[in-house]
Amino acid sequence: MLIPKVRLRSLLNVPKVRAKVEASRDKALDRAGTITRRSAQKQFRRRQPLKSPKWRLVGTRDGYPLVSMSFQESTPGKVTTWKPKEFLRNKIFYDKDKRRGSVVIGPDQKVASVQQLQEFGGSETVKLKLVAPIPVAGLYQYKVPKSMLGRKQGRDSRGRFISNQRAYIGMWHAHGSRAKGKTVATDAGRVRGAGFMGKGLAAVRQKIPQMFKNQLRGP
């Protein structure tokens, strides 16, 4: 008895099957990229800028205290994104690499160095720039704490003896910042790694294989 041999290839539309496989794979990669990106974003602490500044004594300048003011207070080892822009949190993206059949997740190239610093830790020099060119007791409605004000005695243009409580006030900026003001101090800007991408991936790792299940259907 003769049994005819059937070639499976002749029963399939190979280009059509290949196209379906690629489309199903891309859909699964999109889902995997989406859940990983969202998980990484959840690692950020979302905060509003402070209503009152935090003051810190940095050193002295011309006999007066040199203090810094900041409306942002971060926690070491925690990555924080500040409302309303939430800059770092919103700069995480994903894209498919169709040639390798994979998905790449990470920061916008423009902020890659900052995100890497937050992920792995390290240091990046920051500089303190004067907000006002002369020592003052405060800026606008914000007053320097009295414990940080210095007393410098001298005489005015008429020779009268004076004693004023003032301080030089500065704000910290990234080394490449174009902020105006005279640079009066620098700091190594050490950052403890927060591992937000690593933690985000770990939180959804078990869910990723599910994104690829039952994606290929039909003849």
Q: What is the DSSP string of 19-55?
A: HHHHHHHHHHHHHHHHHHHHHHHHTSEEEPPPSS-EE
- The number of folded domains in the chain is 1
Within a domain: 136:
yes
183 falls within a domain: yes
Whether 100 is covered by a domain: the verdict is yes
Domain containing 68: what range?
Answer: 13-153+163-208
Residue 57 lies in a domain: yes
What residue ranges of the chain have pLDDT lower than 50?
Answer: 1
Q: Is residue 7 part of a domain?
A: no
Domain-embedded: residue 29: yes
Residue 216 lies in a domain: no
Residue 154: per-residue pLDDT? 58
Report the pLDDT value the prediction gives residue 92, as an integer from 0 to 100. Answer: 92
What is the pLDDT at residue 130? 96
In whole angstroms, give the CA distance from residue 187 to residue 178.
17
Whether 56 contacts 73, CB under 8 Å: no
What's the pLDDT score for residue 160?
Answer: 56
> What pLDDT digit, counting tens, does each position of 134-159 carry?
999 888 899 999 889 876 555 555 66
Predicted TM-score (pTM) above 0.75:
no
Q: Is residue 19 part of a domain?
A: yes
* pLDDT score of 168: 93
Give the pLDDT of residue 56: 95
Please report the pLDDT score of residue 126 as a whole number. 93
pLDDT tens-digit map of 6-41: 555 556 677 887 888 888 888 889 999 999 999 999
